[in-house]
Amino acid sequence: MEAEAAAPPLPPPPRPGITSAAADEPEPYRVGYKKPPKHSQFKKGQSGNKKGRPKGAKGLNTIVRNIYTKKVTVRSASGSERMSKMEAIVHKTVEKSFSGDMRAIDKSLKLYAQCVPDEPIAVAAPVESVSAADMDAHDKAILAAYRRTAREEEDE
């Protein structure tokens, strides 16, 4: 029994997949999930999409932005003025709305409400009813004439 006690200690068990001889050599590359074959991997410095968008190519948003921000000379009552095309469109829409174009008025009001949401659109306050005590004789006569006319039209 004493011979067994004097036996040298056992070496630690080898780690899974690595043997003492293979510890010095790299493990062979295994193809699998997220590990494509070496020959089909991207080369260093090479893009993955060779026929992709070339550098400097512009998208639609960039093209539209560039067109609408270009400066143009606009003639107005105060003389000629340089402004972006978008500014000129807004000026023209507001100008048309002042001439009574209902479409332009609608677009101007919607644009204002969208661009300045904090500030309410100034609209004329509704006419409040006035009591008879606040009217003078002239106002009462006008109101009476209006009522007669309204009744006559109703009877017809």
pLDDT in tens, 13-70: 666 655 555 556 777 888 999 888 988 888 887 767 778 778 888 889 999 999 999 9
> Closest Cα partner for 115 from 149, 86, 141?
86
As given in the structure block, the two tokens for residue 45 are 């410095």
On whether the pTM is more than 0.75, the answer is no
Distances (CA, A) of 27 to 18, 21, 23, 24, 32: 8, 11, 8, 9, 15
Q: Give the C-alpha separation, 22 to 34, whole Å.
A: 24
